[in-house]
Amino acid sequence: MPSPMILSTGVPGLDHILRGGLPGSRVYLISGDPGVGKTTLAIQFLLEGVRQGESVLYITLSESRDEVDSVAKSHGWNMEGISVFEITELQSLQAAEEGDNYVFHADEVELSEIMNSLLKEVERVKPIRVVFDSLSELRLLSQNPLRYRRQIQRLKHFFSGRHCTALLLDDRSAGETDHHFESICHGVIDLELQSPGYGAARRRLQVTKLRGLDFRSG
């Protein structure tokens, strides 16, 4: 079986750690508390795809398109070429919006309908790279661990056989690590923000798992 194509992440330092980039056509977990840079990393990954002439898609369940755009603008990046699908595009078809237009509650829309719509969007765009932001919203919609894991398995099976590399973002809002989920992903990258008692805050990135690639540890 031929080795998968290596995709640059768009982050030179991370590519160095990965000895070139991420093996393509795989599913990866990007984990970290809010504010550590998951969205920034995800946008860089998609922008690299745009530079390579690839079709890319950002699916957001936790932030509005304006918020994603503002992150890109804060770094001087242009989101042109990145397809964005936000949950309000589905929610508006189900009911009138109330309150925050991107906060989604489990009892408002059937989980299966949401998943079907998201996966149909992937089929429509046919991306080489896709970002799913975030798993915390999917966990909330699932309402119980078993249903959540079934949806994660569904995502993995959906992407398998497609020439698509997926980054799934998780802000750890559940308060505990889902080792079952980590076990079914091809790779796990943890981001951390350290705030010492003095001096500037420091960010740390650690590749905790990556199947089939001899990455640089430490």
pLDDT per residue as tens digits for the range 134-175:
888 888 888 888 888 888 888 888 988 788 999 999 987 765
Could you tell me where the beta strands, DSSP code E, fall in 120-210? Answer: 129-133, 165-170, 187-194, 202-210
> Cα–Cα distance between 4 and 22 in angstroms, integer?
9
> Cα–Cα distance between 28 and 22 in angstroms, integer?
9
Count of residues in the chain? 218
> Cα–Cα distance between 34 and 39 in angstroms, integer?
10
Query: Among the CATH numbers 3.40.50.300, 1.10.540.10, 3.30.70.260, 2.170.120.12, which is that of 25-210?
Result: 3.40.50.300
pTM comes to: 0.86
- Greater confidence (136 vs 39) lies with 39
> Cα–Cα distance between 79 and 31 in angstroms, integer?
23
Which residue(s) pair with 23 in the sheet?
6
Bond preceding residue 134 cis, omega within 30 of 0: yes
> Cα–Cα distance between 82 and 43 in angstroms, integer?
9
Lowest-confidence range among 13-17, 91-95, 144-148, 192-196?
91-95
The token duo for 130 is 């896709």
Across the chain, mean pLDDT equals 85
> Cα–Cα distance between 25 and 160 in angstroms, integer?
7
